[in-house]
Amino acid sequence: MKTAAVRRPGILLLALLLVAAACGFASDRTVIPRPSSRQPVWIVVASALVRLRALPGGAALAASAFGNAQTFVIVGPHPPAFLAGWKSPRAISVGGYAPLEKRLAAGPLPAGLRAVVLDQEAWPFTPAEERRHPGRYAKLAATLVHRRGLLLVATPATDLAKSSAKGQENQYAAFLAARFAARVAPWADYYEVQAQGLEGNPAAYGRFVAAAAAQARRSNPRVVVLAGLSTNPPGDPQVSAAALHRDVQATRGLVAGYWLNIPGPSAYCPRCGAPRPEVAFRLLSRLRQTHG
């Protein structure tokens, strides 16, 4: 099937700013998280912020860490009221191209929307055909997203590689061997390495992030690469803030920032235990002390 040409992500970032300036759009339409040696780019879900804010001191810490132009906040149909005072650009998350088409057609879209997170995984929210051909559908999604002047954040999960793993090869090695990053990153403005299943082992976490990030950048030198962190990762539900901090230290020079997830039991994470916002609180406190 022929598709319309997709604008390269690096060019799109500049084009969005120029178009916004020329057309007199409101200033919040030009807000785009940018790589910085001083302040990481973050992705965080609004529900995670609600959990973090429920802790003593959590509201102030959340606002300090995420209430800025460096953070994409993923929102649903009814964003929490406290976000109204934040500068953070909004994002929506979908499991694939087909769900994206439906979401855009359904409308209305959240105020301040700047990005779409394409979360392709081996789960019911990504159609089976899209799991087999993530690059093809990332390209289609990019066409649709960029036509609306939005950015594409691609986050293909390592479980997409389970079916292609050979012998004793784990899904992380299989993910790299099948070049999932290289297949998806060419169409993305931001690319997140879903490494959180390894975060209890900072050395392994760092190696995988380095390899996947290098693969993504070889296919798209302009893509902004992030890495995943979770307070409740698969295989290590009791991960500590100290371990997450070591993961950041192992990768801060490799990526522009992180998706910090505070998951709880839901249709999106049926095997998750109780959410652990206190782990995120301790991590953010450590980062503020060590990185300012």
Window from 18-22, 237-241, 268-272, 282-286 with minimum mean pLDDT: 18-22
pLDDT recorded at residue 235: 65
Give Cα 110 distance to the centre of its chain.
Answer: 18
pLDDT recorded at residue 168: 54
Q: pLDDT tens for residues 208-249?
A: 999 999 999 999 999 999 999 999 887 666 899 999 999 999
| Average pLDDT estimate for 263-283 | 88
Q: pLDDT tens for residues 124-174?
A: 999 999 999 999 999 999 999 999 999 999 999 999 998 766 655 689 999
Q: Which domains does the chain have, with CATH numbers?
A: 46-291 (3.20.20)
How many whole angstroms separate alpha carbon 239 and alpha carbon 42? 20
pTM here is 0.88
Contacts for 258 with CB less than 8 Å, ≥ 6 apart: 40, 41, 42, 43, 226, 227, 228, 229, 248
pLDDT recorded at residue 166: 66
Residue 74 bridge partners (DSSP): 45, 91
